[in-house]
Structure 1
Amino acid sequence: MNSTNSDDRDARIRREASAWLARLNSGDCSTDDRAGFEAWLAMDTRHADAFRRAERLWRELAGLGELARPQLKQAQAVYRRARRKRRWPMAGLAAAALLAGVLIVNPPIWQWLTAERFTTGKGERETVTLSDGSSIELNTDTAIRVNYSARARRVWLERGEAWFSVAHNNLTRFEVRVGEGWIEDIGTQFNVRRDPANVDVAVQEGEVAVKVATNPEVLHLTAGQQTNFDRQGHAAPVRAGDLAAIAAWRGGVLVLKNLTLADVARELERYHAVSIEIADADLRQLSVSGRFPTDNLPLALNTIATALPVRIAHLDGNRIGILARR
């Protein structure tokens, strides 16, 4: 078999794999559909590998949220419409084309998929030095993707917290994409933290522009300022920020000011593989301030027990209880 025929065969298998993926995720996949899929897998050992690749692409695109969701929904809808008209071949090809087209009509998706990924575990910190001299410090339990192109230096903060020290470049902008917003840097140092509900941005020096998908207004932050936005893209007004406290994690310290004990427990859980349980509602609302090491959980807990009317109980496994002092 010559290389042209081999390429054609591989392309056909990729299309079929994408079509089967759209069919199985269409929302009305039948028992006969699943039987047909199993038969297709059994026809050729290369089918299973192609399907795994298509499935991984689909899963990663779904993880991009609003960036790729319209294309995935469109691929599913095309299949459902054609299936009702009993036009399965057309449905499969259309769904496969749409899935492949995501990478063509949405360059950021391709950049995200081809970006280099860096991660830290709980309690770990790591510094990534980029080719232009910029650096990114990753805090505990953090994941980023980095993609450089001729037009942009782009970072996706998938979870956690990172400190950015950006080398200025008039020709190539530096962007951090996170949730429903993105931060464009103009040669500066800034911190970005992504929690389940909010994204916090604070600037040490220089200036950044903060944009969110649902708001045409651009927020400009300069040295000593911070803002945050939620999962819906609603941004808080720019305000003064305590950068020394925000950046203290870079030195292995948590600086906490007037947080509830429940919030402090969640902060400690970010750095340690434990579950801290506070059953008493009154204890959960106790106010806590102080400096705590990020790498010494017993010391942090003992400090809390000394300052508050609580005691620490080590439960089974990795569970820790904070109880009222007897």
Structure 2
Amino acid sequence: MTEDPTLHDEALDWIIRQRDPAFDAWPEFAAWLGADPARAEVYQAMADADRDLPAMLPAAPRPQAVPARRVGRRAWLGGAVAASLVAAGSYSFLSLRPEPYEVATAAGQTRLLVLVDGTRIDMNGATRLRLDRNDERFVELVDGEAVFTVVHNEARPFEMRVGGATLLDVGTVFNVKRHKGATDVAVAEGEVIFNPQTENIRLPGGRWLRTVDKETRLVIGEIEPGVIGAWRTGRLVYPGTPLELVAQDLSRNLGMTIEAAPAVAGRRFRGVISFGRDRQGAVARLGPLLGVQVRGAGDRWLLTDEDG
């Protein structure tokens, strides 16, 4: 297949535009990138070359006092070219500094992000991510839930931070949830390393981990890979989960405020909750399914005891 001769020009244009701190055309960039796999390959190669430029430039010599002399036009032009190269290298070096930005969704809203290297992030509702414009292999989940489908790159593992912990991955599919001081990690494919510098726990496909802030105990168990990230298809699957956590998931996915009363918050539910565009219908089905009374109206609902 013949490569589009304009592809390099387009990729270079995006790299130059992204150096501007005010650049905000990330949705347009993601659309351009996702339209053709060749674009991601060319862009990545040019971006890597741009990053490596400072290392290729010689170190600046220490200033020395020299006697003044007349500078010819040719020498002046040569110096100007050299100065422009150093300036370009310095600009590229400065662009390597972290440039964080955030992407968020409202409750009930989902969003797909495609990073420069092709990694996909499916964001659930009420989710906030912090990314770095100069490092496509890093992301922080501030709050909410997302499925990460990471492109394999053994030389540059994908690093994710969540709740003070670090997840390291070289190419896999996993779901991460962060809410009210608790973090849940479930791996569908490949392997994720939890806190490689401390606990160094390896989670292969079919394993999940839960950690709570200020608690030293980690809970690790098995999970059916096929149910990980099932929220993307309108299903919430529970192996025996407290209703308090079920209510949090429902709020995130349905775009409503759903809470579990203290009397039922600790009850465990085992089963599947299906939902679609009919949010009110989904809420109406919760009572018999969960064995509780559902009270409320509009976008605020309470799961309470049947006799309450």
The two structures have a TM-score, normalised by structure 2, of 0.59
Q: Which moved more, 1:258-267 or 1:243-252?
A: 258-267
- The equivalent residue for 1:319 is 300
Deviations 1:137-195 (A, max 9, x none): 11111111222547x72101111111111111233221001111010101111111112
Shift of 1:280: 7.2
- The equivalent residue for 1:251 is 233
Pair 1:191-2:179 in alignment: no
**1:159-174, aligned counterparts within 5 Å?**
159-174=143-158
**1:277-288, aligned counterparts within 5 Å?**
279=261, 281=263, 285=267, 287=269
Q: Is the 8 A contact 1:181 1:210 kept in 2?
A: yes
Q: Following the alignment from structure 1 to structure 2, what is the Cα–Cα distance between the partners of residues 183 and 119?
A: 20
Letter in 1 for 2:166: W
Pair 1:120-2:105 in alignment: yes
Letter in 1 for 2:161: R
Shift of 1:268: 1.6
Percent identical residues? 30
Q: Is the 8 A contact 2:110 2:125 kept in 1?
A: yes
User: Going by fraction, where is helix more abundant, 1 or 2?
Assistant: 1
- The equivalent residue for 1:105 is none
In the alignment, which of 202, 205, 209 is matched to residue 220 of structure 1? 202
Q: Following the alignment from structure 2 to structure 1, what is the Cα–Cα distance between the partners of residues 265 and 166?
A: 37
Letter in 2 for 1:306: P
Which structure 1 residue ranges, 5 or more long, are not aligned?
A: 1-109
Shift of 1:136: 0.9
Letter in 2 for 1:319: R
Pair 1:240-2:222 in alignment: yes
Q: Following the alignment from structure 2 to structure 1, what is the Cα–Cα distance between the partners of residues 249 and 128?
A: 17
Give RMSD over aligned pairs: 3.0
Shift of 1:303: 1.9
Q: Following the alignment from structure 1 to structure 2, what is the Cα–Cα distance between the partners of residues 184 and 143?
A: 20
Cα 1:280–1:203 shift into 2, 3 Å: closer
Letter in 1 for 2:115: L
Q: Following the alignment from structure 2 to structure 1, what is the Cα–Cα distance between the partners of residues 159 and 125?
A: 22
SS in 2 for 1:299: helix
Q: Is the 8 A contact 1:254 1:294 kept in 2?
A: no
Shift of 1:296: 3.4
In the alignment, which of 243, 247, 258 is matched to residue 276 of structure 1? 258
The two structures have a TM-score, normalised by structure 1, of 0.56
SS in 1 for 2:152: coil
SS in 2 for 1:301: helix
SS in 2 for 1:244: helix
In the alignment, which of 121, 135, 152 is matched to residue 136 of structure 1? 121
Pair 1:296-2:278 in alignment: yes
Letter in 2 for 1:116: Y
Shift of 1:210: 0.7
Shift of 1:216: 2.2
Q: Following the alignment from structure 1 to structure 2, what is the Cα–Cα distance between the partners of residues 296 and 231?
A: 35
Cα 1:234–1:280 shift into 2, 3 Å: closer
In the alignment, which of 225, 241, 247 is matched to residue 265 of structure 1? 247
Shift of 1:261: 3.8
Which structure 2 residue ranges, 5 or more long, are not aligned?
A: 1-96
Cα 1:296–1:261 shift into 2, 3 Å: farther
